[in-house]
Structure 1
Amino acid sequence: MRRKIWIFLFVLMLMLLAACSDNHSDETKEETEELAELKVDFALPESAEVDEEVELKAIVTYGDEKVKDADEMEFEYWKQGNEDDSTTVEAQNNEDGTYTAKVSFEEDAVYEIYAHTTARDLHTMPKKSIEVGNAIADEHDAHDEHGDHEHENADGLHMHFMEPEEVKTDEEVDLITHLQMDDEPIEKADVQYDISKKDESDNQETAEAEETKAGEYKATHTFSEAGSYTIQIHVEDDDGVKEQEEYKIEVK
């Protein structure tokens, strides 16, 4: 009888040790995941000729791991100073942690490009620029004639509103904005969407956004009438960031 009790106690001790080991392993895994960071190494030539095919390439990593299954990887580009008229292309997943796309540019200009990446419940969007054709000479002439040309915000803030593709009345639509500071997501910010119909600014609706991923702020809204609307995005955080931008959308 005593021998059976000792065997029972020994087995119970092994089970407890195994449980403690599993808990420790889970805690270590969680700590490792918390420390891991989603990074995108965005490779882009400094210059290109008009209509020349250019390869855009992003190498995506999460800690020491190459991300071969990103939820989203696309490039968005526009002529400098004209972000409202941008073009988005989906990248090809090469299944080795690299994502590529080929594009060409139609005008002599500086083009700016985001590498939008979503993986491991995180979003990042590093931005680079490329000089196409005689962009340098054109910029120099503009500088001589008009003084300093427009620069990126001095504080390094990037605010990117994901404009809905099609908005219809009486259908719930997601309003999503990504915030970054020097290529790092801005977390725990207060983001608010002020929505008003054209020429009816006194009749304004407000939607408070929630942070769904690091640096991603989402609110939902239903438009009751068709027409042109203005969406003003207000951003504040505890580090002194205070910014607002305005966008136009059409509701059908």
Structure 2
Amino acid sequence: MKRNIWMLAFAMLTLLFMAACADPSSSSNVNPAKVQVELIATPEPVIAGETTALTVRITGLNTFEKARVQLDIRTADNKGIPDLLDTETTGNGDYSAEYTFKKTSLYDVYVHLYQGELHITKKKQLEAT
């Protein structure tokens, strides 16, 4: 009987410890459906052969610490190898990089957001003229 009480007490202490160590802003508490991604190109419209500043604006995360954003750029016809582009944070959920679109075409831009164990991919389209 005493052994069962000690085991129960140990189990309760273990659960309390695990709950105290949980990070409320961890990636496991994020609902991917609520994460919104906006892709902003400057200049607009995008001109093929000219450098374009791409800014990704992310909302719906509790924190952006240790988040990484990568752009996967490919023509909409999905021919050829995609270009992978790492971004740099500019604060407040914004991430930026520069890219030169090679030809006039419709492009699919897959925004990959990594934070801890979380990986969210959102698809956006841009047209280079």
TM norm structure 2: 0.66
Stretches of structure 1 that go unaligned for 5 or more consecutive residues are 1-18, 134-252
The residue identity in structure 1 corresponding to 2:69 is M
Return the alpha-carbon distance in structure 2 between the equivalents of residues 69 and 32 of structure 1.
12
Residue 9 of structure 1: aligned partner: none
Please say if residues 51 and 106 of structure 1, whose CA atoms lie closer than 8 Å, have aligned partners that are also in contact.
yes
Give the structure 2 partner of residue 87 of structure 1: 83
- SS at structure 2 position matched to 1:94: strand
> What displacement does 1:93 show?
2.5
Tell me the CA shift for residue 50 of structure 1.
Answer: 1.4
State the match for 2:95 in structure 1. 99
1:90 Cα deviation (Å)?
0.9
Residue type at the aligned position of 1:100 = S
Query: Which residue matches 1:44?
Result: 40
Is residue 87 of structure 2 the alignment partner of residue 66 of structure 1? no
Q: Which runs of 5+ in 2 are unaligned?
A: 1-11
Distance 1:49-1:75 versus aligned 2 partners, 3 A rule: same
Separation (CA, whole Å) in 2 of partners of 1:73 and 1:31 = 22
- Report if aligned partners of 1:79, 1:110 keep a CA contact under 8 Å in 2: yes
Taking the aligned partners of 2:91 and 2:29, their CA distance within structure 1 comes to 24
CA gap 1:26/1:104 in 2 versus in 1, 3 angstroms? same
Do residues 23 (structure 1) and 16 (structure 2) align?
Answer: yes
The sequence identity of aligned pairs, in percent, is 16
Opposite residue 53 of structure 1, the aligned amino acid is T
Aligned residues between the structures: 111
Separation in 1, partners of 2:108, 2:45: 12
Give the Cα–Cα distance (whole angstroms) in 1 for the partners of residues 66 and 91 of structure 2: 7
Does the CA contact (< 8 Å) of 1:61 and 1:67 recur in 2? no
Instruction: Tell me, in whole angstroms, the C-alpha distance in 2 between the residues paired with 1:55 and 1:123.
Output: 24
1:129 matched to which residue of 2? 125
The one-letter amino acid of 1:129's match is Q
3-state DSSP of counterpart to 2:81 = coil
CA distance in 2, matches of 1:32, 1:56: 27
Distance verdict in 2 for CA 1:25–1:40, change over 3 Å? same
Structure 2 counterparts to residues 198-237 of structure 1, below 5 A: none
Q: TM (normalized to structure 1)?
A: 0.37
Q: Which has the larger radius of gyration?
A: 1
- Which structure has the higher relative contact order (CA within 8 Å, separation 6+)? 2
Deviations 1:9-65 (A, max 9, x none): xxxxxxxxxx98x939927x57875543352523234731112322222234564x2
Contact 1:55 1:101 in 2 (8 A): yes
Secondary structure of 2:108 counterpart? strand
The 4+ residue runs of structure 1 with deviation greater than 4 A are 29-35
- CA RMSD, Structure 1 to Structure 2 (Å): 3.2
